[in-house]
Structure 1
Amino acid sequence: MSIEKPTKAVQDTYSSRSIVEGIIHSVAMKEIMLDRTMPRYILKSMMSGFLLAIVTVFMLAMKTQMAGALPGVVNLMGAIAFSIALVFIVLTHSELLTSNFMFLTIGMYYRTISIAKSMWLFAVCFLGNILGAFVLFGLLICTQVMTPEMIEALTKTVAAKTIEPTWHAILVKAIFANFFINIGIYVSLMFKEGMTKTFFIAIGVIIFVFMGYEHVVYNAGLFVGMLFYNLDALSGLGVLKNIIFAFIGNYIGGGLMIGLLYAYLNGTPKKL
């Protein structure tokens, strides 16, 4: 008895087509919000920046209060703490620049959003993310939450991101950061159950934070904190170097290595 060879079409190889289609619909909603209700879009972007900044402060507090413990344990606990921010951002549908790199690249590939409109959305989203950090630290400066030890830790962290590294080190570490973040988000879209989604979103963040990779919005929040707490120790050229190359690296890691790759693997622009 012979076994007939299964008949397959190219479309059968599109293993996560439903996820890409969902992202396309999300991109359309982002564009509508940007065009017709920009204040709402900016507020959603600000919420992401606010959440990243407030969890950054939580992570600084954790690390300083755990000083003396095993460094690996401290770093791991800080990374787990920081993953809370992205979980909140994704589950509340807030707008974060680095996840938009993946979403909008898929949209550009399928020609549902123009390159010019994507660049404008990136700019508005990044501005909102930074404004959210300003709101957080503007409120925090009225309190005693930021201890001298936390300010010292913040200063050392910023120096390690602005003064010490070369531009190509920032670029490569930024590629890794957004690769892990967006692969976690992409996998989480396969599931509807909240705890499963949370796990996959968090795991990518834990890896990037523990390894000390570069995330442009997280870094921008650190720089905003320095404006309020230790402006004299902030290097303007170092900040510019970090922002530029972390931005480019994050786009490569999330936009090209995840967004463009999975857009291509799940169809062509003519077969949306």
Structure 2
Amino acid sequence: MFSDIDVLCKLGHIKYNIMKTDPLRFFVRSFMAGAYLGVAAILSYTLGALLNDHTVVGKIAVAGTFGIGLVAIVYLGAELFTGNCFVSIMPVLKGELKFHQILPMWIVCYIGNMVGIALVCFLYIKSGAQEAIMIPYLQGVMESKLQFDVMELLIKGILCNFIVCIAAYSGVKIKDETARLIVIMVFVMAFVLPGFEHCIANGGIFTMGLTQLGNTVNWLTLPLHMLLSTLGNILGGSVLLAVPIYIMFKAPQSEIKK
């Protein structure tokens, strides 16, 4: 009988082999994951803008709908950087792959995700849809995001991907389709509602802000924000969740010796 580690390692090897044998296909899968999140961003942030005068309701609406992006990724088959930080680290922890072997996969996945979500969000703003309500909403979001404490932002990134990867892990474990959809949506809500930081989602909202607001916002802290949220996401998935899961389900030394 396969353990959780075996299943996760198998998934990690599948992703690694796709990247190794057909990097263009892997990039397109990563691009589409970003695009799916871009669609979720359009829905959730438009709802946030529409409900901007009702702060609490607006935040709940954003958190409650953003999960459709992860649902699309899981059900339609795409590569999300933050989820891969969890799955693909398992063969490394087990000693079947070296970290330097999966690093190119992470880089390609990250770039593909960013290109996908940035393109969709850029086109949304350029379409002029809901422009009147998006401008003040994005102005407030940018002001909030670009003023941050370094340690707090890093921790928000860690907690975000800890929760995202629990959602991904649940998606692997739960077989009933309805239950899987509900669990994924609730877990995504659990990281969006408190305001935790997802680096790929941030790529979308910052693209909206840059496109819509231009030089009216001071963007000097944007690169640091993206760096810290990305680093936090890596630690949340590949360390805070992956290491305990590996320790919980790895084969006992007595079985390994046999």
TM-score normalised by the chain length of structure 1? 0.86
CA contact (8 A) 1:110 1:269 kept: no
Equivalence for 1:254: 237
Amino acid at match of 2:118: F
Offset from partner CA, 1:120-144 (integer Å, 9 cap, x none): 1111100000110232134334422
Q: Matched residues in 2 for 1:98 and 1:131: separation?
A: 15
Aligned alpha-carbon RMSD (Å): 2.1
Structure 2 counterpart of 1:231, from 203, 214, 234:
214
Aligned-pair distance for 1:233?
A: 3.9
Change (3 A) 1:160 1:68: closer
Q: For residues 39 and 169 of structure 1, do their structure 2 counterparts lie closer, same or farther at Cα, with a shift above 3 Å needed?
A: same
Q: Determine if contact 1:171/1:248 at 8 Å carries over to the other structure.
A: yes
Q: Determine if the alignment matches structure 1 residue 265 to structure 2 residue 248.
A: yes
Does the alignment pair 1:92 with 2:73? Answer: no
Deviations 1:101-121 (A, max 9, x none): 111221210122221122111
Contact 1:111 / 1:269 at 8 angstroms: preserved in 2?
no
Amino acid of the residue matched to residue 84 of structure 1? I
* Counterpart contact for 1:17–1:266, Cα < 8 Å: no
Partners in 1 of 2:130 and 2:22 — Cα distance?
Answer: 35
The answer to whether 1:190 aligns with 2:173 is: yes
1:127 aligns with 2:111: yes
Is the CA contact (8 Å cut-off) linking 1:101 and 1:251 kept in structure 2? yes
2-side partners of 1:73 and 1:48: how far apart? 28
Q: Deviations over 1:4-63 (max 9, x none)?
A: xxxxxxxxxxxx963321211111111111111111111111111111122112112112
SS class of match (1:237)? coil
TM-score for both structures, normalised by structure 2: 0.91
Q: Which amino acid aligns with 2:77?
A: H
Alignment of 1:168-183 (within 5 A): 168-183=151-166
CA distance in 1, matches of 2:218, 2:87: 33
Gaps of 5+ in 2: none
Q: CA deviation at 1:217?
A: 0.7
Rg bigger for which structure? Answer: 1
* 8 A contact 1:102–1:260 mirrored in 2: no
Q: How many Å separate the matches in 2 of 1:235 and 1:53?
A: 24
Code of the residue aligned with 1:28 in structure 2: it is H
Query: What fraction of aligned residue pairs are identical, expressed as a percent?
Result: 22
Alpha-carbon distance, 1:215 to partner? 0.6
Deviation by residue 1:134-182 (Cα, 9 ceiling, x = unmatched): 32134334422241321331232123222x1111111011111111111
Q: Distance in 2 between matches of 1:131 and 1:146?
A: 23
Which position in structure 2 is the counterpart of 1:11? none
Could you tell me how far apart the structure 2 residues matched to 1:235 and 1:269 are?
54
Does the CA contact (< 8 Å) of 2:153 and 2:197 recur in 1? yes
Structure 2 equivalent of residue 23 of structure 1: 8
1:33/1:245 Cα in 2 relative to 1: closer, same or farther (>3 Å)? same
3-state secondary structure, aligned to 1:211: coil
Distance 1:253 1:94 in 2: 20
Q: 1:129 to 1:146 in 2, by over 3 A?
A: farther
CA distance in 2, matches of 1:100, 1:50: 17
Q: Which residue identity is paired with 1:188?
A: G
> Which residue of structure 1 aligns with residue 202 of structure 2?
219
Q: For the Cα contact (< 8 Å) 1:19–1:189, is it kept in 2?
A: no
Q: Distance in 1 between matches of 2:29 and 2:105?
A: 13
Aligned-partner SS, 1:145: coil
Pair 125,187 (structure 1): closer, same or farther in 2 beyond 3 Å? same
SS in structure 2 at match of 1:212: coil
Residues 53 and 235 of structure 1, relative CA distance in 2, 3 Å threshold: farther
Distance 1:60 1:264, change over 3 A: same
